[in-house]
Amino acid sequence: MGNKDNITKKYNYKIIFSYDGNNFFGYAKQVNKKSIEEEVTSKIALILNFKEFKIYASGRTDKKVHAINQVANFFLPFKIEDKYSLDSFLYKINKVISPEIYIKSIKRVALSFNARFNAKKKIYYYLINFKSYDPLKRDYELYVHNLDLNKIKEVISVFIGTHSFINFTSKEKDDERNFIRTIFNIKVVKVDSSRIKLVFIGDGFMRYEIRKIVGTILAYNDYKITLEDIKSKLNNIDNRDIVPFTAKGNALYLDKVIY
């Protein structure tokens, strides 16, 4: 058996899929732990009867985080269409894959396409219930008592722009970009009379970054941190002092990847 990274890269396939992250230990493969990557890879391998490939996702979501439109690509030395139509392939894989995952589409793309490196923007949203706790939705939203929307709108502007988010991630090293990321916008979107989405649009997000920003926003709502303290954490590359606030994972959704 050859190395998965060294197979003849003749054909490149792009898939878009959704998943409920509650029962997974995140997207990335982990030893003896259930992951999205392992489940998707193993089921594609099963249907194609071919194991020598690797899936490249747009990014790794954390434990319990969900996705509406995750994007990935993988290379094969043969055409799937020589075995099945792509519609038939989708049907077969969705019959055997975990019911918490659904492959929405597949298409053959240029060999140059890379789901991670070609991404220009990523859109996530964090779902907050600010009216009444709903036990049936506890795994899909965060209930916040006494949410002040004016304070929320005030603090989110601090994070917009290009900053060093070194104190808003659990990532230990970031050699490629030195913890620099750009958040193009953070929007407060009303879902219904009880819920809002905090919509994050950025060029990429590091581990726990959005959750730590949301946690900090909510800490500001609760008068646990000041705007000055938040600003001092941003771009403070000489003194790493990670914020202690991290919102729970299962209210966070990867909504869309833009290429």
Annotated catalytic residues are 62
The packing angle between helices 86-96 and 36-48, to 10°, is 120
Give the tokens for residue 125.
């949203």
Tell me the CA distances in angstroms from 225 to 32, 166, 175, one per residue in order: 39, 18, 30
Tell me the C-alpha distance between 259 and 84, whole Å. 28
Q: DSSP secondary-structure letter at 26?
A: -
Q: Percentage helix, strand, coil, to 5, in the chain? A: 30, 30, 45
β-pairing, 161-164 vs 180-190, is: antiparallel
Q: Cα–Cα distance between 145 and 86 in angstroms, integer?
A: 47
Q: Strands, E, within 101-259: which ranges?
A: 101-109, 121-129, 142-143, 161-164, 180-190, 195-202, 252-258
**What is the DSSP-derived secondary structure letter of residue 30?**
B
